Amino acid sequence: MILRRLDAAREEVRHCGEFDYVIMNQDFARAVDDLSAIVRAARLTASRQAARHAQLLQRLLNPEKDF
């Protein structure tokens, strides 16, 4: 079972260049922090922020209509 997991891990590492983010799980607390940072960053992409704050952005871009 351990050998099978090691083989699987090697295969996963071979593909790490295909991903935008890679978390190395040598230190669990650091890995959790890294994952949290990735999730936070994903929530702040321009497209998600534009969708989430569409009304605010509209008011900021067209201040004469609301202010």
pLDDT in tens, 21-51: 999 999 999 999 999 999 999 999 999 999 9
Q: How many domains does the chain have?
A: 1
pLDDT score recorded for residue 52: 94
Q: Which band of pLDDT confidence, cut at 50, 70 and 90, is reported for residue 63? A: confident
Q: Which residue has the higher pLDDT, 40 or 66?
A: 40
Inside any domain, residue 12 = no
- The boundaries of the domain holding residue 52 are 20-66
Inside any domain, residue 62 = yes
Q: How far is CA 41 from the centre of its chain?
A: 5
Inside any domain, residue 13 = no
pLDDT score recorded for residue 66: 55
Q: Any idea which residue has 């890995």 for tokens?
A: 31
Using CA atoms of 52, 56, 61, 67 in order, give the dihedral in degrees to the nearest 10. Answer: 170
Rounded to whole angstroms, how far apart are CA atoms 33 and 35?
5
Closest CA to 24 of 37, 40, 35: 35
Inside any domain, residue 43 = yes
> Residue 23: which H helix or E strand, with range?
none
Inside any domain, residue 29 = yes
